[in-house]
Amino acid sequence: MNNRINIATTDPKAYEAMIGLETYIAQTGLDKKLYELIKTRASQINGCAYCINMHTRDAMKNGETAQRLFLLDAWRETTIYSEKERAVLALTEAMTTIANGPVPDAIYQEAARQLAPKELAAVIMAVVVINGWNRISITCQTPLD
């Protein structure tokens, strides 16, 4: 039995702040499939079962294929992701593993080449937000739906 707090019920204002960031990202026009790839990949790296479960299902609801989700952990080894998606996945990984060192210039520059400045800002914020959700879910041991 999980005896850890549920942020949504323990501190609704904190939860609402996170939802506010999600609302902001939704309003940027960031492609929903791309956003779900970001969420799923960061969640894989962080080992967040709750978020992997949620975002793979959400990705499929938004038209993502099972094959692309199955191969997401090995995206560098396949050609089924576009150049833009590859740039975003590389940036997602670099930001998620930032404790290993700063985001390499080459990764940032490729993302900047593939994305308009506002879209790049949305991607950066998307990575920040999912990493926050991962940390909440892992720390609070959020049970699977």
pLDDT tens for residues 77-116? 999 999 999 999 999 999 999 999 999 999 999 999 999 9
The conformation of residue 102, written as its DSSP 8-state character, comes to P
| Domains of the chain by residue range | 7-140
Q: Is the pLDDT of residue 144 over 80?
A: yes
Virtual CA dihedral for 71, 124, 98, 22, nearest 10 degrees?
-80
Entry pTM: 0.96
Instruction: Please name the CATH architecture into which domain 7-140 falls.
Output: Up-down Bundle (1.20)
